[in-house]
Amino acid sequence: MLQARKNRLWKLIIILFLSAGGIALILFSLNSKLDLFYTPSEMLQAELKSGYRIKLGGMVKNGSIKRDGTIIKFQVTDFVKEVPVTFDGIPPDLFKEDSGVVALGYFINGMFEAEEIFAKHDENYMPPELYMEEDKV
Amino acid sequence: MITAFIHQFSSAKSFVNITEKLYPFFLIVGVSMLILGWTWGLLFAPQDAVQGNSYRIIFLHVPSVIFAELIYFFMAVCALMHLVWRVKLAAYLIKSAAPIGAMITFMGLLSGSIWGIPTWGTWWQWDARITSTLILFIMYLGILTLHGSFSNLEKADRLMSILVVIGVVNIPIIKKSVDWWSTLHQPASISVSGGSSIDPSMLYPLLISVIGLGFTLIALGILSSRSYIFTREKNKKWILEHV
């Protein structure tokens, strides 16, 4: 390879290395701030100032959904800790037990008061018949 | 020998001659596979057990975002060729691939937002996957704007290539964002190693749509790069002979 080309290649590798390094430093320092939500364990551990709107995410605990008019109460779990949630409104269609959920609201005295609820679905796609069979097993 | 090979295939003239013959092939195969994949996916593939019919936008969303990333990667390889070997054609290809990349990234963001409304209950969340894809879209626009802001085109080519190389760091971040951080977006369904969590009855039309969109985009890329080559080299003798 020509010497001039070698020099240009090295310059390019240095540019790439520096930009990757710079962005890696930013991402490492932001780290968990880039997470969309707190898991129940994180929420119970963290010293959160009440009055800040935050997001809680996890699975809706099986058998925990209780409806009272338009008010919905359920437990969000990460299979270690649980946080009780109340929500007044219409949840998305995919909101159900044993399924992922993200709630936006306030954490007050061990109780999460949600203003909005989003359903999180998983990466599996299958026809209904297969799904029924899997449920039986 | 390698140098001779690069010189042979990196001249704009031979690129125009080769692609002229390849263009109909890519267009016909691409469009017919897209029609096949989308008809199969939208009309004949089964419903999803959880999402019902609304999952069917996957046949637009997944191919779009795959090529949003692949086109950028292709541009980065071209930027390397341009900066190290001073291949002019590589810069022309970056300039003509960027609008296509921007368009398909926008399609990915739009189809994802539409998909989000019935399933997630929201069309936008600032999670790591969605935000990094938005940054990719802005990178494409930035690359085009940077190139357009110089009257000296050689300088524009070089600075554009450097920006493309800097921005390539974003590609692995998009790919790994769903694993590194908690997001509303679900993890990948198809892995490069061949694993898939999509039932075969839905996976086959999806793969056909991906290949179909790829070929269609190559055909579009040939069109856009040829017209750009003609404007950039309009004073060259071979262009006059060609036209």
Pairwise CA distance, residues A56 & A87, whole Å: 13
Poorest-pLDDT segment among B150-154, B172-176, B191-195: B191-195
pLDDT in tens, B14-30: 899 899 999 999 999 99
Asked if B118 reaches chain A (Cβ–Cβ under 8 Å), the answer is yes
Per the model's pLDDT, the better-predicted residue between B18 and B195 turns out to be: B18
Percent over 70 (pLDDT), chain B: 96
**How confident is the model over B51-77, as a mean pLDDT?**
96
* Tokens linked to B106: 């926008």
Cα-only R_g, chain B: 20
Q: What is the pLDDT of residue B3?
A: 67
- SS3 string, A79-124, reads CCCEEEEEEECCCCCCCCCCCEEEEEEEEECCEEEEEEEEEECCCC
The domain locations on chain B are: 15-187+195-242
Average pLDDT over chain A reads: 89
Q: What is the pLDDT of residue B91?
A: 95
Q: Is the pLDDT of residue A88 over 90?
A: yes
**How confident is the model over B65-89, as a mean pLDDT?**
95
Q: Is the pLDDT of residue B105 over 90?
A: yes
- Amino acid letter, residue A3: Q
pLDDT band (50, 70, 90) for residue A136? low
User: Which of B47, B169, B186 is facing A121, going by the closest CB pair?
Assistant: B186
Pairwise CA distance, residues B6 & B24, whole Å: 25
A51: alpha, beta or left, given left = phi > 0 and alpha = psi -120 to 50? left
Helix or strand (DSSP H, E) at A77: strand A71-77
CB-CB under 8 Å, B188 with A123:
yes
> CATH assignment of B15-187+195-242?
1.20.120
Average pLDDT over chain B reads: 93
Asked if B53 reaches chain A (Cβ–Cβ under 8 Å), the answer is no
CA distance A17 to chain B (A): 9
Task: Tell me if A57 sits within 8 A of B182, measured CB to CB.
Answer: yes
What lies within 8 Å, CB to CB, of A75 at 6+ separation is A60, A61, A64, A82, A83, A84, A85
Per the model's pLDDT, the better-predicted residue between A51 and A62 turns out to be: A62
CB-CB under 8 Å, B118 with A92:
yes
Pairwise CA distance, residues B64 & A35, whole Å: 25
pLDDT in tens, A22-48: 999 999 998 888 899 999 999 888 877
Q: Is the pLDDT of residue B119 over 70?
A: yes
